[in-house]
Every structure is written in structure tokens, then in C-alpha cells.
Structure 1
């Protein structure tokens, strides 16, 4: 997982780089998100033919890859200036539920409805890469100790989610595809 700053959207994102699928196989987060989206879109009933559209259409918000989980700034209770980042949710494309995090770090407390916070200083301009690893050792009496650790490393810089608000989208077909995503 990587925590990155997106200055264009003025947000921080938790990007799930690798996710574990239900059967235990690891997959790139972008591939797993694309597969989930394609599956949801296949389950939707077919749309009736649309009336001829204007060359442009208003869009309130663009979509973001579903392996990008948003974090929004919120004030620390009883503090005027201190801010921390709270895990938020984006609406899923083609679904009625918000996008759900898949990695254990970003999913922490999600199923129980608990809020999840990251201190703002933990996400510098370069971002933060977080890796999980199982560790195993033996104690002096031979007992085995096993634990899961999380380590942070410097990120690779800012990135852009492509999130934009209040824009006109071109609705004319491009090479046989609808250009109004």
C-alpha cells in the first residue's frame, strides 16, 4: 500500500498496490479493481437506447480507480489547527455501495464501522510506502513467535488520481466508443 498526495485534487489517497483475493492469490490492485468493476457492469441491466446527445455533457465528478481509497483532512477534537487524515469512501462506478478497501491496513475497523485516521505528518510530499511482512523467530526455550509487522518507506512522489469536479465531458463517439466516461 502507498499513501500519496494528490495536489490537483487536494487529497491524500491510500493506493492498494497489491491485494489478496479470496482464494489467497495476490494480484495487482489496479487489475483486481478493474475486474471487480467489469463484473459489476456485466450484472447491470442493459440501458435503453439513449436519445441523440449534445456534443458535451455536464459531469459533477469523474471516477477514480477503485484501488485508490480517499483520506480527507479533519480537525483533531478540541484543536483549532491540528489536522489528521480520515479514511473516506468514493461511490463505486456501476454500483450502489461505496468502494471498499481490500487490504488489511486500509480495511482496519471498516467492517465494524470504526473510523480510521492517519496523522497528516505521516504522508510527506513524497508519499509513504507501507509494507507488511510476517516475522518468525524462536525464543530461548524453543517456542516459536510469529507476528505481522508494518514498515514504512519513503514514497516516489506525488501522483494524480484524475479526480475532477464540475466539468464538461465530450459525448461524441470516439472510434466506436462512447467518450463520455
Structure 2
């Protein structure tokens, strides 16, 4: 098996109801690093940490770019200001896999 970039976090499809008539699937965050644990996770991003489970229809084939953005709204009153952290979702740049290969032969340069 080839090497996979450390920042590549897989999302594995899981069927919600195991009935033949229901095809609903969610994507569960997986891991590549066998030494990863809850105390020492593979990911370093808050966004990935918050997304243990995604509905399949939320992720297009082109991928997603999700950013955390601090937001502010000023109200009419003196103490009517609001701060919060939101997420902004953009379309990705197209399919890009991790470059993972199985059962391949490396050519010897000699």
C-alpha cells in the first residue's frame, strides 16, 4: 500500500437503516493513522473535529471547502451587539484522491 498524506481524513459510508427499501447513507469520519485516539486525534482542525458524521447528500463529488468565520451584528441598542462563529461552505476544486494505490509494482532504477 502506498503512503497517504497526513492531512487526508477519510469519510466512510455507513447505511443508516439496514432495510432494503431505505438507501440513506451518512459519512462517518475515519482515520488513517493507527496510533490516533480521542486524546491524540489524527486531525488538527476544529472543523474536522466537529464533523464526525455528515449526510451523504451534503458532500458533492467536487468536494467542499468549509471555513470558520467570526461574525458580528450590531443592533439598534447600546448593548445589542452579537458575536458568533459561523461556517461558510464553498464548492471544492473537483475530485482529488489521496493517491492511495494497492497491489502495485515499483520499478527498480538500477
TM range (shorter): 0.7 to 0.9
- The structure richer in strand per residue is 1
TM-score by length of 1: 0.50
Structure 1 residue 136 corresponds to structure 2 residue 72: yes
**CA distance, structure 2, for counterparts of residue 69 and residue 87 of structure 1:** 7
Alignment correspondent of 2:106: 169
Shift of 1:78: 4.9
Give the CA RMSD over aligned residues: 2.2
Q: Which has the higher contact order (CA 8 A, sep 6+)?
A: 1
The alignment of Structure 1 onto Structure 2 pairs a total of residues equal to 103
Q: Distance in 2 between matches of 1:78 and 1:139?
A: 49
Unaligned stretches of 5+ residues in structure 2: none
Moved over 6 A (4+): none
Distance 1:66 1:142 in 2: 48
Map of 1:17 onto structure 2: none
TM-score, normalising length from structure 2?
Answer: 0.79
Runs of 5+ unmatched residues, structure 1: 1-60, 110-115, 175-181
More helix by share: 1
